[in-house]
Structure 1
C-alpha cells in the first residue's frame, strides 16, 4: 500500500486515450468544426504522438481520456499535455 502523497500524484499513462486535431484555417482552430481523431491508444502513446507534432501546430491538438483527478482532466489542452510529458519524464 502506497502512502496518500504518492497516490495523489499518480497518473495511469496506460489509460485509453485519443489524440484529436481541430480543423484549421491559417493555423487557427475552426470553432465551427469538430475535432477529428488522429490516433488512439494509451495516454502515454498519445502524449508521445502529440510531442512529435511541430511546436507551431500543437495548439490544434488535444487529448481526450478518462479524467484522473487532480492531474488529468477528460480533455487535455496542449499546455496540459506538455506538463504531463514533463511529469512522465520525471517519473
Structure 2
C-alpha cells in the first residue's frame, strides 16, 4: 500500500462532538458560542447530524481530531455531508 492510499483513509471511530449554534429565526447567532449536543465517535456524530432536518443542519458542526487531508478539526455542515457520502463507499 502506498502512502497516498493510507493518507486518504478516515478513521470514523475517533472521538467527536456534535455542536449546535444558538439561532434566531433559523440563523446562527454570531454573538454566542456553539454548545455541545452529543458526543461519541465521528461515525455516531455524522449519523446524528444527518438525522437533523435539512433546514436546520447549517446550525451544526462537528469537532474532532484532524485527519489530513479529509478531516479538519471543525467540520462544517457541507463537509459533514461529504463525509457521510464518503462513509457509504467505505
Instruction: Report if TM-score (shorter chain) is over 0.5.
Output: yes
Match of 1:62? 61
Residue equivalent to 1:28: 27
Moved over 6 A (4+): none
> What whole-Å deviation, never above 9, does each CA across 1:16-74 have from its counterpart, x for those lacking one?
00000000000000000000000000000000000000000000000000100000000
Name the residue aligned to 1:73. Answer: 72
The residue number in structure 1 matching 2:39 is 40
Find the aligned partners of 1:51 and 1:4 in 2 and give their Cα distance: 31
Question: 1:5 and 1:34 mapped to 2: Cα distance?
Answer: 37
Report the TM-score when normalising by structure 1: 0.96
Is 2:24 the partner of 1:10? no
Segments of structure 2 that go 5 or more residues without pairing to the other structure are none
2:6 counterpart SS class: helix
- Secondary structure class of the residue paired with 1:79: helix
Distance in structure 2 (CA, Å) of the matches to 1:70 and 1:89? 19
**TM-score of the superposition, structure 2-length normalised?**
0.97
